[in-house]
Amino acid sequence: MLSHKSNKLLAELRSENILLLNEFDHLQKTTQIAQTLCSFLGNRIPQSSIYRLSELVYNSSKQYGYDPVLLLAVIHIESYFKTDAKGKYQSGELSGALGLMQLKFETAQEVAEQMELGTITKEDLLKPEINIMLGVGYLTQLVKRFRNFKLGLLAYNQGPGTIKSNISNKQELSVKYYRKVLKSYYMLKGIAKKSSASQSVCN
């Protein structure tokens, strides 16, 4: 029978092993995300930005239970991975949407309050760590509200009021945005698979 001291040591070793496994999983998955972005973007954004984005996407995907490649697809369609992106309507007029996940300031303020993050500024939305945190948080709220990922994603793009009205009035939903995200997802998923197999890294 193990002594109290031996039991304590065994528990500590198990705890350390769990931490090491978590760290390995974290490193492996962030590297896979970075490899995917490197293969897709090449030298269009700095390597340091790729690794930073990979870390942020991994953290959000783990927190909310998303496939990280799906979050990359949303960011791709929203901003093409440009941190300073400013959204425009088809007319060319600025829409007010900002950053990687193209959040409007009023929406971002509401989400920040709900997440108890305090006051934010428009400049904050151009910071990847804030934009992604609020963007993924908002998307998750919409998916929960509509109890459906497809509807939540459409609401993210068109506004929850528009989707609710279309459903209430039994009007056909525009699914163009959803299809664009799915197309990007499968494309990036294919790149991720090839990058993982070749073990390619950023040059």
pLDDT of residue 89: 85
Amino acid 153 reads: L
Query: In which residue are the tokens 């993050």 written?
Result: 117
Q: Domains, the chain, ranges and CATH?
A: 4-196 (1.10.530.10)
N-to-C CA span, the chain? 55
pTM: 0.87
How many Cβ atoms sit within 10 Å of the Cβ of residue 173?
Answer: 14
pLDDT at 63: 95
Residue 90 has a pLDDT of 81
Write out the chain's pLDDT in tens, 203 residues: 546 666 666 666 666 666 666 776 888 999 999 999 999 999 898 999 999 999 999 999 999 999 999 999 999 999 999 999 999 988 889 899 999 999 999 999 999 999 999 999 999 999 999 999 999 999 999 999 999 999 999 999 999 999 999 999 999 999 999 999 999 999 999 999 998 766 555 65
Copy the structure tokens of residue 141: 């709220």
Provide the 8-state DSSP code for 60.
H
| Number of Cβ atoms within 10 Å of the Cβ of 50 | 22
Neighbours of 60 (CB within 10 A): 21
The Cα 159–Cα 146 span in angstroms is: 12
Give the length of the chain: 203
User: Residue 98: in which H helix or E strand, if any?
Assistant: strand 94-98
At 130 the three-state DSSP class reads helix
Spatial separation of the C-alpha atoms in residues 203 and 197, rounded to whole Å: 17
